[in-house]
């Protein structure tokens, strides 16, 4: 596939939205971790380099989870050794435990993320811990990382619905998130892991964090598009002051421990919408569409992103 020149949608600014949004690009990690095929490390490195060329300033590069559990990211050390890091780009990595932190420190990373669950069942399936036990696992990771000068982000999964437990009470999510902030996480990424959230749920959860004393400046959102609601849910969050959004180039992604989780919000679809609303992202949509079209060719299948499909058809 080849991309034609995009141009921009007609801009009609919305006063209730932030002037600027920062995208936390997860394509190289969350986007690739659920693919059946394993891409060569050189292809991943080119993907990251192309993404950096688009103007994206945060590229989650890989994960130091056990290669036995996520073989698609077993090349984390090789990837980081070959990465052409840029001064204006952050390259965070996912770290599940102290062994993962050891590997991250040896690789010279400056940003890490930990991955907590808002529900008991998913904590057990994803981390082999109870809801409370997961914090005992994270605490030494965060403490050591902060002592080493690393920034630590906290993911909270299953924030809106869990395939085993059903709808998740907002208060339960807030309690988990607050413990991560108190531990030292500078930001929480609120994940709709199976893509069941609605805009009302999103706004209620963000307001719940505010009531618990956690500023909206410390929140990011991470939506999957199972029911086609990821973009609507993102805009609902932005209207309440959220300015950080996770998305995945080409709409890649899923969760290996939750079969109903489909792709992430596509970065191209997000940028098209934000451009039309007058919200700045500093991302070149032409270059990003071309990058996702190239990667789709490398993977041998069409891109899930509607914008990529529309502009490469």
- With respect to residue 4, please indicate whether it lies within any of the assigned structural domains: no
**What CATH number is given to the structural domain containing 270?**
3.20.20.70
b or e along 261-287 (b: 16 or more beta carbons within 10 Å of the residue's beta carbon)?
Answer: bbbbbbbbbbbbbbbebebebebbbbb
- With respect to residue 206, please indicate whether it lies within any of the assigned structural domains: yes
Angle, helices 230-238 vs 267-276, to 10°: value is 50
What one-character DSSP code corresponds to residue 168?
-
- With respect to residue 11, please indicate whether it lies within any of the assigned structural domains: no
Confidence of residue 169 (pLDDT cuts 50, 70, 90): very high
pLDDT of residue 262: 62
- With respect to residue 2, please indicate whether it lies within any of the assigned structural domains: no
pLDDT of residue 243: 98
Count structural domains, the chain.
1
What one-character DSSP code corresponds to residue 223?
E
Give the residue with greater pLDDT, 38 vs 102: 102
User: Looking at the annotation, which residues are catalytic?
Assistant: 255
Sheet bearing 62-63, strands edge to edge: 58-59, 22-25, 244-247, 219-223, 187-192, 151-157, 111-117, 93-94, 62-63
* Alpha carbon distance 148, 144 (integer Å): 6
Q: pLDDT tens digit string along 219-272?
A: 999 999 999 999 999 999 999 999 999 999 999 875 444 454 468 999 999 999
- With respect to residue 302, please indicate whether it lies within any of the assigned structural domains: yes
- With respect to residue 17, please indicate whether it lies within any of the assigned structural domains: no
Q: Which of these, 252, 249, 198, 188, lies nearest to 222 by C-alpha position? A: 188
Give the residue with greater pLDDT, 65 vs 263: 65
284 in Cβ contact with 55 (< 8 Å): yes
- With respect to residue 143, please indicate whether it lies within any of the assigned structural domains: yes
Domain of residue 156: give its range: 22-312
- With respect to residue 16, please indicate whether it lies within any of the assigned structural domains: no
């Amino acid at each position: 596939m080849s991309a034609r020149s995009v141009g921009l949608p007609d801009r009609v600014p919305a006063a209730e939205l932030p002037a600027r949004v920062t995208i936390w690009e997860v394509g190289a990690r969350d986007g690739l971790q659920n693919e059946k095929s394993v891409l060569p490390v050189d292809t991943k490195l080119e993907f990251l380099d192309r993404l950096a060329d688009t103007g994206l300033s945060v590229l989650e590069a890989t994960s130091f989870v056990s290669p036995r559990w996520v073989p698609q990211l077993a090349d984390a050390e090789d990837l980081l050794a070959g990465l052409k890091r840029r001064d204006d780009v952050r390259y965070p990595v996912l770290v599940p435990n102290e062994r993962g932190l050891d590997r991250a420190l040896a690789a010279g990373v400056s940003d890490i993320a930990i991955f907590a669950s808002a529900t008991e069942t998913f904590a057990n399936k994803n981390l082999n811990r109870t809801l409370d036990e997961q914090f005992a696992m994270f605490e030494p990771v965060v403490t050591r990382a902060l002592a080493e000068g690393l920034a630590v982000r906290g993911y909270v999964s299953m924030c809106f619905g869990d395939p085993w437990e059903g709808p998740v009470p907002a208060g339960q999510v807030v309690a988990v998130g607050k413990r991560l902030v108190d531990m030292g996480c500078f930001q929480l990424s609120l994940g709709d892991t199976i893509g069941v959230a609605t805009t009302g749920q999103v706004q209620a959860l963000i307001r719940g964090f505010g009531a618990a004393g956690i500023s909206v400046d410390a929140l990011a959102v991470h939506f999957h598009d199972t029911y086609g609601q990821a973009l609507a849910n993102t805009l609902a969050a932005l209207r309440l002051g959220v300015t950080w959004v996770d998305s995945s180039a080409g709409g890649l992604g899923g969760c290996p421990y939750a079969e109903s989780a489909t792709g992430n919000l596509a970065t191209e679809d997000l940028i098209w919408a934000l451009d039309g609303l007058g919200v700045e992202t500093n991302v070149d949509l032409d270059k990003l569409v071309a990058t996702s079209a190239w990667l789709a060719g490398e993977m041998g299948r069409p891109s899930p992103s509607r914008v990529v499909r529309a502009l490469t058809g």
